[in-house]
Amino acid sequence: MSVDKDGRFKLEVEIEDFRPEELTVKTQDQRVVVCARREEKSGNRTSCRELSREYTLPDTVDPLTIKAFFTDGGKLIVEAPYKDGSHVTGR
């Protein structure tokens, strides 16, 4: 977790083994939950990969303002503004 150049909360998650449509990102209380599932079938065999990660947000971040996007490089980026300018950069 970090602060980006605009003073926003930022979380980067490496997810290169999954496609965007295989991911779900949701908030529960003051947490971000990232889940991914990929099922592959080959002949009469099926393989399944799953991932579940949970991150606690700082109290200064409103979970209702979270936005997430997937980069071409296989990273999930989760961003949100800090509440009422509560985070000041340069300190």
SS (H, E, C) 2-57: EECCCCCEEEEEECCCCCHHHEEEEEECCEEEEEEEEEEEECCEEEEEEEEEEEEC
pLDDT computed for residue 27 by the predictor: 93
pLDDT computed for residue 17 by the predictor: 84
Higher-confidence position of 11 and 90: 11
pLDDT computed for residue 90 by the predictor: 46
Compute how many other C-beta atoms are within 10 angstroms of the C-beta atom of residue 63.
Answer: 14
Domain 2-83 has CATH 2.60.40.790: yes
| Ranges of each domain in the chain | 2-83
Q: Using one digit for the tens of pLDDT, what is the confidence trace for 4-51?
A: 556 788 899 888 788 889 999 999 989 999 999 999 999 899 999 999
